Every structure is written in structure tokens, then in C-alpha cells.
Amino acid sequence: MQPVALESLPFVGAVEVEEGPAGLVLHRLPAWARAQTTEPTLGLIETMPAGVRLRGRTAATELELDVDLTVVQVLDKDPVPAVFDVVVDGQPVSSVSSTDGTRIVISGPGDFDIVPGATTTIRLDLPGDPDPVVEVWLPHAATVAVRAARLSDGATLTPVAPAGRRWIHYGSSISHCLEARRPTETWPNAVALRAGLDLLNLGFGGQCMLDQFVARTIRDAAADVITLKVGINIVNADSFRERTFVPALHGFLDTVREGHPDTPILLVTPIICPSAEDAPGPTLPQPDGSYSTVPRPADLSTGSLSLRRIRELIAGVVAQRDDKQLQLLDGLSLFGEGDVADLYDALHPTAEGYLRMADRFHAQVFADGGLLA
């Protein structure tokens, strides 16, 4: 095996690649945006490289990556593995997973311990044919710092720019898909592979709050189509009331439009969450691991948002704006009342549920006759 210079590794799907003492860290938000929040969860989530992949042509039969992983463990359950998927000409062919490295052990809301771990080596088998485009999709549910890379002796890795339309997607944990079995099975990644799109996945678990630094990040990035799946984090965190949500959504769209005046934009409303359909948040984890809203006195609920109400408000924003390139998709058509059995914690879909969402989103949005076809 021969070493590969870290700075030559052809990553796509990241906003910024930071090289430092810990190796390469793949960021989904730029440094200036990261400096504008004090929320530690976002700092962790945006370094989970959902949708980020190595992409190029190589005759190598093997690729080794020395990585520092940070994986998540809830209570006494097994840690969520970090999975690396090998994709050849758009088709997933193999996976390698690891639970080595540092562990974040979550024992309750806001209560966690960090157990340090060591560097691990990920060995990936490659086809050994220089013609196909080879991609390595990085873990969606772990942070990854790449310390070293090696290829089979005599082999090179030539970057290949993505050929499809550039798709930027912004969303919550239901777009980050931590519960998916592997990176190519998160619903945005699965749709991108099926439709041949160059995805920038800005799905941030628990952190889809219409932050203006995200709007400016999207504004400044290349995009052929943009989808924004918003609302469920806002209800579940009780972070906006009706008075502030509507102007914030308009402002987010205004900022995105500054950089993309004619780009098709699709606003997607929340999928189903039974406890929050008609009750306002906050929605909090319960002792059995499920999520439900917290009852509150009526006099504290004025202007608060349920999912049913926030869907109405989002539809109203789309109708109000004079924007022929702005469309609406009902999130209940992706995951609705008939799918509740696949909300494993009454909030997040199961791995199978995410694959069903991928099928439905692709059919409604990017397949022939779809909203953004």
C-alpha cells in the first residue's frame, strides 16, 4: 500500500474541508457560520459527513483510511456503527462498519459521557478497474477525522466531478436519518443516487431552525434545485411562535433567493408525529424512549405551533409569495397516518421507513413528471 496525500483526496458533498492536527474534518457548514452559534449539538452534527463522499477513478483494489471516529451510544444499547459504503457507477456494492473510536454515551436528556478512543483503520475493497466512477460514502451517523489514506501500490485516484444537477437539501433529523442502516440508505442520499444528483445534504438532527447562517450558506453555494423540509424541529423545540415563524420563513427564502433568483425551490412540510399534530411542543423524550409533547396551560399556548398549524402556515407562505419557481410538497405524502407503526420512537422513522420515504420523494419530485424533474 502507498500513501495518498490528504490534501489530494477528492471529497464532494462537503461545504468545507478542514485540515488540522487531527487530520481532515469534513464540515457541512463553513467556519464563519459555525462561529455564529453557541449550540454544541450543531457543532457535532455538522461534522457528521451525511452525504459526503470520496469520488474518483482508480485502478486500486484496496483503499485504507486511518480515521478517528466518534460514535453515539444510547444508554446500554450497542453504539451506532460508523458505516462506509462503496458505490461503483452509482450502485452500492459493499460496506464496512466500525464502532471503534470515541463514544458519546447518552444516559438521558442533556446527560452524556465521552469515552475516548483510538484511531482505527478502515479497509475497503475496490473493483480494480480504472473505468467506473468509484465513490466512498462516509458515515452519516458518526464524526470522521481522516488521518491518513493509502491505495494499492502503483494506483492513483483521479477526481471526477459529479455530472448530475446540484441538489441542496435542508432539513432536520428526519433528513439526517441517523436511524438509517448505512449512508446510502438515508432517504436524501438514496434519492440522489437514484436520480443521479450531486447532493449537498444539510440535514441537521434537531437543528433545522431557519438559522440565517444556513440560508446564507445555501445562498452562496452552487445549486440547480433546492429543497427545504422545515417545521418539525421548530414545533418540537417550541422555538418559534406564529408571530415569529412566518417572518423567519419569509426571511430565509429571501436570503436564499439573493443567490438563486431563478432556481426551483421546493418547501416540504413535516411528516407525521402523532403527539404534536394538534398539540404544541416542546416534544421531549419519555422514560420508555418515545417522544411526546408536554402539556401546558391554555394561557401559555397563545400563538404556539402544532404540526397541523405549521403546515397551514408554510402553505400560506408559498401561496403569498409571487414566486413561480417556489412549490409546496405535503410531508404527509411522504410519511403519514398509515406509516405511524414505523415511527420507532413516535417521532423518527425506522430504517425501512426512510427507504419508503425515498421511494415516495423520488416518485413525486425527481421521477418523470415530478415537481422538480
What does the pLDDT look like over 301-321, one tens digit per residue? 889 999 999 999 999 999 999
Judged on CB neighbours under 10 Å (0-12, 13-18, 19+), 186 is: buried
CA-to-CA distance for 83 and 140, rounded, in angstroms? 8
DSSP single-letter state for residue 362? I
Asked, as a colleague might, if the bond just before 282 is cis with ω within 30 of 0, I would say yes
Q: What are phi and psi of 312, to 5 degrees?
A: -65, -40
Which domains, and CATH codes, for the chain? 2-159 (2.60.120.260), 166-366 (3.40.50.1110)
Q: What is the pLDDT of residue 343?
A: 97
Say yes or no to pLDDT of 89 above 80.
yes
Q: Is 328 exposed, middle or buried (0-12, 13-18, 19+ CB in 10 A)?
A: middle
Instruction: Share the mean pLDDT of the chain.
Output: 95
State the pLDDT confidence band at 25, using cuts at 50, 70 and 90.
Answer: very high
Q: How far apart are CA 139 and CA 354, in angstroms?
A: 16
Give the mean model confidence (pLDDT) for residues 171-180. Answer: 96
Percent pLDDT > 70 in the chain is: 99
Confidence band for 108, pLDDT divided at 50, 70 and 90: low
Cα–Cα distance between 210 and 31 in angstroms, integer? 18
What was the pLDDT predicted at 109?
59
Question: Structure pTM?
Answer: 0.96
Is a pLDDT exceeding 80 seen at residue 107? no
Instruction: Tell me the per-residue pLDDT of 322-354, one tens digit each, with 9 for 90 and over.
Output: 999 999 999 999 999 999 999 999 999 999 999
Q: Is the pLDDT of residue 48 over 80?
A: yes
| β-pair type (198-203, 166-171) | parallel
Question: Rg of the chain over CA atoms, in angstroms?
Answer: 20
CA nearest neighbour of 325 among 250, 366, 252, 264: 264
Mean pLDDT of 142-154: 96
Distance of CA 209 to the CA centre of its chain: 14
Q: What is the mean pLDDT of residues 215-222?
A: 98
Amino acid 119: pLDDT: 96
What 3-state DSSP class applies to 303?
Answer: coil
Check: CB of residue 74 under 8 Å from CB of residue 106. Answer: yes
pLDDT score, position 358: 98
The answer to whether residue 298 scores a pLDDT higher than 80 is: no
* 199 pLDDT tier (thresholds 50, 70, 90): very high
Residue 20, pLDDT score = 86
Q: In angstroms, how far is CA 197 from the centroid of its own chain?
A: 15
pLDDT band at 110 (very low <50, low <70, confident <90, very high): low
DSSP string, 118-167: --EEEEEE----SSS-EEEEPPSSSEEEEEEEEESTT---EE----S-EE
Distance (Å, whole) CA 268 – CA 229: 4
- Are the beta carbons of 183 and 85 closer than 8 angstroms? yes
C-alpha distances (whole Å) from 336 to each of 175, 233, 332, 357 are: 16, 17, 4, 10
Say how many C-beta atoms besides its own lie within 10 A of residue 320's C-beta.
10
Question: Rounded to an integer, what distance in angstroms lies between the CA atom of residue 183 and that of residue 188?
Answer: 10
Q: Which residues of 280-307 are buried (b: 16+ CB within 10 A; e: fewer)?
A: bbebebeeeeebbbeeeeeeeeeebbbb
> Has residue 98 got a pLDDT over 70?
yes
**257 pLDDT higher than 90:** yes
- The whole-number average pLDDT for the span 76-95 is 93
Contact criterion met (CB below 8 Å) for 167 and 223: yes
What pLDDT, in 10s, does the model give residues 220-233?
999 999 999 999 99
Quick one: average pLDDT of 33-52? 95
Q: Higher-confidence residue: 130 or 120?
A: 120
The region of weakest confidence among 193-207, 283-297, 302-316 is: 283-297
Confidence of residue 261 (pLDDT cuts 50, 70, 90): very high
Whether pLDDT at 299 is above 90: no
